[in-house]
Structure 1
Amino acid sequence: MTGSLWRRALAEALGTGLLVTVVVGSGIAAAELSPGDTGLQLLENAFATALGLAVLILMLGPVSGAHFNPVVSAVDCWFGQRHGGGLAVRDLAAYVPAQVLGAIAGAVLANLMFGEQAVSWSTSDRSAGHLWIGETVATAGLILLIFSLARSGRSAAAPAAVGAYIGAAYWFTSSTSFANPAVTIGRAFSDTFAGIAPGSVPGFVVFQVIGAVVGAVLVLVLYPTAGDAADEVVVPHTESGVTS
């Protein structure tokens, strides 16, 4: 890695890790604060996640673009290769492992903060066709939102818009909108309200990838020159971490 690439990869690891800490930590807190009320637990979890994601994008976006999601990085790389911008393949190869490792570390941190075992494999089975449809919809919508904002010159709205979308998708998708392979893997490390059984992870990841492809196709149909704005995803960023 070059100096700037390791810095961007670190930002992606940190951002994805803190995102999982927010998701898992707020899930544990919700279960403790509202025992027996699943609806209220979900509301508390979704609200904290939406706000936390918006803050993380604002905090780390200028360094790495705040992808925090392997499918966002992969689509950005694909669009960029077609239009001469976005992530290079070398950058993608650094971002994805950083995101996954960060997600795992974030789950461990959340577990420890709430007095749980550092690693407790989730037993929440989420292997069902309707959940996979939910993940496809959630991921496609996320990709369409992010790249349409970039292409229409509204990347400044991304922190609020992406946070709001994920918060809403907790409720309108059957899967509660993981929409992120790295976060999905991380959540398998916590047997809590926000967990997913390791055996359910492959199915979720497969349909997240399918959703990303669907979202990318929709972006190309609606915004044919979306790749021209690949460097604005999720928010504008530069190698120095300071926008111009």
Structure 2
Amino acid sequence: MTEEMIRDEVPRTAPHPGLARRLGAEAIGSFFLFCVVIGSGIMGETLSGGNVAIALLGNTLATGAILFVLIAMLAPISGAHFNPAVTLVAAIRREIGMGEGLLYLGAQLAGGILGVWAAHYMFDLDILQWSEKTRTGGGQWLGEGIATFGLVFTILGTVRYRPERVAPAVALFITAGYWFTSSTSFANPAIAVARSLSDTFAGIAPADVPGFVAAQIVGALVAAALGGWLFAKELP
């Protein structure tokens, strides 16, 4: 979500945080989000005894939980994007400048990749890896498009009418997305890139990343267009 999106919805009592603090929040939030995605996947696969459903359930619950915590904690500082698709929509809506958006992207990637490497180190795996897990095809691309559309649409609609519920809404959408999409709902170009650096349960082969990213961007753009119309403040 974006703090800029809720500026008109929630009264502010503190000055707007400086750019360095916003970038720090994006990097730290991405670190923990990506670390949890990879780490819980490793833990789930280790403890599940080969039961993929149990491993996915553990991965799902941990991801939903950390999203709730990170958004609730960091949204007042940076908007808690942790996701280039969300940053892109914020830039399209002129809630963040393009230059600042590129810096957000850098912070998300840097923090997120460090989170992936930290997860590897914690579980005594090689820090530097390339995933060999194939995730490709029209069904998975459609899944990523729908997942990203749903995520951005959830943010726009909740910010418009229930800004205090953005954290649980996003966390619950991603929790559901793990199970109703064929791709397990990456819904985030930065995490697609970072997961290509992990040959673990949550990984994706580097060659398959461009297809996921393209689908995510399309989903985000459609959500921005439809959400901008449906949740407009001005009545037609």
TM-score, L = length of structure 2 = 0.89
Alpha-carbon distance in 2 for matches of 1:212, 1:90: 19
Query: Which residue is equivalent to 2:96?
Result: 87
Q: SS of 1:190's equivalent?
A: coil
The alpha carbon displacement at 1:130 in A equals 0.4
Alpha-carbon distance in 2 for matches of 1:193, 1:19: 16
Alpha-carbon distance in 1 for matches of 2:98, 2:132: 36
1:38 aligns with 2:52: yes
Report if aligned partners of 1:134, 1:177 keep a CA contact under 8 Å in 2.
yes
Alpha-carbon distance in 2 for matches of 1:101, 1:108: 11
Count the aligned residue pairs: 218
Query: Which residue is equivalent to 2:20?
Result: 6
Report if aligned partners of 1:12, 1:99 keep a CA contact under 8 Å in 2.
yes
The alpha carbon displacement at 1:52 in A equals 0.8
1:134 aligns with 2:148: no
1:113 aligns with 2:122: yes
1:188 aligns with 2:196: yes
Give identity over the alignment, percent. 46
Q: Which has the higher contact order (CA 8 A, sep 6+)?
A: 1
The alpha carbon displacement at 1:224 in A equals 2.5
Q: SS of 2:93's equivalent?
A: helix
Query: Which residue is equivalent to 2:3?
Result: none
Report if aligned partners of 1:57, 1:66 keep a CA contact under 8 Å in 2.
yes
Query: Which residue is equivalent to 2:91?
Result: 77
Stretches of 4+ aligned residues off by more than 3 angstroms: none
Query: Which residue is equivalent to 2:210?
Result: 202
Return the letter of the residue paired with 2:227.
V
Structure 2 unaligned blocks of 5 or more: 1-16
Query: Which residue is equivalent to 2:157?
Result: 148
1:60 aligns with 2:68: no
Return the letter of the residue paired with 1:98.
A
Structure 1 unaligned blocks of 5 or more: 81-85, 227-244
Return the letter of the residue paired with 1:159.
A
1:223 aligns with 2:231: yes
Query: Which residue is equivalent to 1:23?
Result: 37
Report if aligned partners of 2:158, 2:169 keep a CA contact under 8 Å in 1.
no
TM-score, L = length of structure 1 = 0.87
Query: Which residue is equivalent to 1:230?
Result: none
Return the letter of the residue paired with 2:232.
P
Alpha-carbon distance in 1 for matches of 2:58, 2:159: 30
The alpha carbon displacement at 1:90 in A equals 2.4
| 1:93-150 residue CA offsets vs partner (Å, 9 max, x unmatched) | 2101111111111111111111111111111011111000000000000010001111
Query: Which residue is equivalent to 1:170?
Result: 178
| 1:155-183 residue CA offsets vs partner (Å, 9 max, x unmatched) | 21111110110011000000000000011
Residue number among 100, 103, 109 corresponding to 1:100 in the alignment? 109
